[in-house]
Amino acid sequence: MKQVPAANWAESFHYRFEDCVYPQCLDAVSEIVARVSSIKTLGSRHSFNAIADGRHALSLAELPVDPVIEANGTQVTVGGHCTYGELALFLQRHQRAIHNLASLPHISISGAIATATHGSGDRNGSLATVVSGLEIVTGDGSVVRAARGDADFDGMVVHLGALGIVTRVTLDVQSAFEVAQCVYEGLAWDSLLDNLDDIMASAYSVSVFTQWAETAGTIWLKRTISDDAWPAELHGASRATIKRHPIIGLDPQNATDQLGEYGLWSDRLAHFKMGFTPSSGAEIQSEFHIPRKHGAAAIGALLSIRDRFAHLVQAGEFRTVAADSLWLSPQYRNDTLSIHFTWIRDQDAVDEAVRHIEQALSPFMALPHWGKVFTPRHVGASYEKLPDFARLRNSMDPERKFSNPWLEEVVFAESKG
């Protein structure tokens, strides 16, 4: 009897799956899809809402991931269910790298690009932006292969699980590079708000972690090779002399190496190490993407209501993500500041806090992270390319085999396609 996944990774959301199939080859995936009327593909189950939910699940876990370097070392093609951690080990052996990682390497590639998962960096697009090819089993069981530049490709990458089963993904790769990380502590709110753009531009990837307390928190710089010495102070924050965990009080051993020592890109770009529990585990997450021009005002608006939510925060984080051309990306034609919350695992209290946050952020064109907790509503209406995405779904899944109530409510709602 094969396992039927009961809950997401954090055990904050319980699926209603009755069964789960584990095909072992592409033909079997096609045959299953052709036969069933409804199926949801599961990635690594790291989302926090009903995006992946359904009655019948499919897992690609028994398919080989088979990574292959292609196009003179500029691309890698790999099974969609491969995690970034597994991929990084393969790329290391070939001295190749991808441009960025999310906070953890444990997530699947297909699931991450489905929700426009991102790391940080003013010039770094989300993980979906380096997708240059896709293999997708569509609603009638046929296999579609599409590449960057093909019609509608920009609509297929941030796919929300709505278009088919993503069996292989091709990613742009580059020469392996080294990264070093330093943490700066004691950042004041005024200093953050007055220097937000400078701070976020001060390294290849920058995160500001906050507890929404009296001081803003810590700046985490991830630098690529630089001859400059690390400054002792950054906008009033002092360089940490011991390792830190993004969540105050947790063991820094689970966090990637710091203190300015250079090492492999894959050992520093994420916050959490493969092989260890990322983040805290008992948690819920939310995140809101704000156009950069509204960044400081949006943080200021949240500061003014922090008594409504700060007590539920394990860690907050500000990151930046570069604009892209992917239809359902929150960065579609917009550089964003992303305001993230790792909450304690109390769903009712978090839902209430999120309602206050959404109200405070409403003047700033905030878009929620597709895979995290927000108040369910027709978010798709905020995306100018939604009608095109609905048309694409009509062509790839006319019978709605890959749909679920979350997609219909949050994404499509009134869209006629």
Can you give the binding site for ligand FAD, defined by CB under 6 A? 9-10, 40-47, 51-52, 60, 80-81, 102-104, 107-108, 110-112, 114-115, 117-118, 160-161, 165-166, 278-279, 285, 369, 371
Residue 72: burial class (beta carbons within 10 Å; 0-12, 13-18, 19+)? exposed
Tell me the C-alpha distance between 401 and 163, whole Å: 9
**Smallest distance from the beta carbon of 118 to ligand FAD, in angstroms?**
4
Query: For the residues of 376-416, what is the DSSP string, one character each?
Result: -S-GGGG-TTHHHHHHHHHHH-TT-TT--HHIIIIIITT--
In 3D space, the residue among 64, 16, 76 whose CA is nearest the CA of residue 42 turns out to be 16
Minimum Å gap between C-beta 148 and ligand FAD is: 18
Smallest distance from the beta carbon of 410 to ligand FAD, in angstroms?
Answer: 11
Calpha distance 324→123 (Å, rounded): 11
Residue closer to ligand FAD (CB basis): 102 or 379: 102
Q: How far is the CB of 196 from ligand FAD (least distance, A)?
A: 19
Take residue 165 and report the two structure tokens written for it.
């089963």
Nearer of residues 94 and 377 to ligand FAD, judged by Cβ: 377
Nearer CB in complex with ligand FAD: 88/165: 165
CB of 137 to ligand FAD, least distance (A): 8
Q: Which is nearer to ligand FAD, 79 or 235 (CB)?
A: 79
The CA R_g of the chain, rounded to the nearest whole Å, is 21
Extract the tokens encoding 238. 């002092």
- The token duo for 368 is 């929620």
| Closest to ligand FAD by CB, 191 or 209 | 209
Beta strands, E only, 160-216: 165-172, 174-175, 178-187, 205-210
Helix (H) or strand (E) holding 147: strand 143-147
How near is the Cβ of 238 to ligand FAD at its closest, in Å? 26
Please enumerate in sequence order all residues whose Cβ is within 8 A of that of 201, keeping only pairs 6 or more positions apart, or say none: 122
Q: Give CA–CA dist 355/1, Å, rounded.
A: 41
Q: Which residue number, 235 or 317, has a Cβ lying nearer to ligand FAD?
A: 317
> Least CB distance from residue 381 to ligand FAD, whole Å?
19
> What's the token pair of residue 144?
């579609």
Closer CB to ligand FAD, 234 or 396, in the complex = 396
Q: Which two tokens stand for residue 33?
A: 């899809």
* Least CB distance to ligand FAD at residue 26 (A): 12
> DSSP readout, 336-376?
EEEEEEEE-S-HHHHHHHHHHHHHHHGGGT-EE-TTS----
CA dihedral 190, 331, 84, 262 (to 10 degrees): -40
Cβ nearer to ligand FAD, comparing 110 with 415: 110
Closer residue to ligand FAD, CB minimum distance, 81 or 99: 81
Sign of CA dihedral 366, 370, 374, 375: positive
The closest residue (CB) to ligand FAD is 111
Closest distance of CB 371 from ligand FAD, Å:
3
